[in-house]
């Protein structure tokens, strides 16, 4: 059973409700999120809402709980079918995730649904290892990935840490209209 299959079994995506996305400068976006109990029904409902909100937003490949106004450490990523995605684990939702290894650093263009109409050049690892827990079961998992999916995971980890991509932009000249939503 793939990681995405295990997420789908634990999170009733059909039960999720698309919610409004919080935009900067809302304070919830600048505060580190609190750890969650992955088995708590509220965490599972939040995971379903993250997936439903992503599905309702064209081009969205990642969304974190702070973007839905919840100051906790839960995020969803799904780069499936995106033209920049090589590696893809499918729809992932992780609780209390941490970056444990990063390599192959590169600058790449990013945007964010919480920072409308802007993109910027951000240096991120091209290969990462992330650990976390699955919502519903609390099963510990490790995700090893690269390329665009690695960038998306790091972007959402930043949201859970109270950071926006703008906190990592390499110079003010780098800001333009967005093309990719993370």
Active site residues: 156
The whole-angstrom separation of Cα 64 and Cα 141 is 18
Token duo for residue 62: 């990642």
The answer to whether the beta carbons of residues 156 and 145 sit under 8 Å apart is: no
How many angstroms separate the Cα of 54 from the Cα of each of 19, 59, 125, 139, 151?
A: 9, 8, 24, 23, 17
């Amino acid at each position: 059973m793939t990681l995405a299959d295990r997420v789908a079994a634990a999170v009733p995506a059909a039960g999720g409700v698309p919610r409004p996305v919080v935009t900067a400068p809302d304070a919830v976006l600048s505060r580190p999120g609190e750890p969650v109990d992955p088995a708590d029904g509220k965490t599972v409902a939040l995971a379903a809402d993250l997936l439903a909100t992503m599905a309702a937003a064209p081009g969205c490949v990642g969304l974190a709980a702070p973007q839905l106004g919840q100051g906790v450490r839960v995020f969803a990523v799904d780069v499936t079918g995106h033209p920049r995605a090589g590696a893809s684990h499918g729809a992932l939702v992780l609780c209390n995730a941490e970056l444990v290894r990063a390599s192959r650093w590169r600058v790449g263009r990013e945007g964010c649904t919480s920072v409308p109409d802007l993109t910027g050049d951000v240096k991120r690892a091209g290969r990462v290892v992330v650990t976390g827990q699955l919502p519903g079961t609390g099963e510990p998992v490790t995700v090893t990935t690269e390329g665009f999916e690695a960038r998306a995971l790091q972007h959402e980890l930043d949201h859970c840490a109270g950071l926006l991509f703008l906190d990592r932009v390499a110079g003010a000249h780098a800001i333009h209209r967005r093309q990719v939503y993370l």
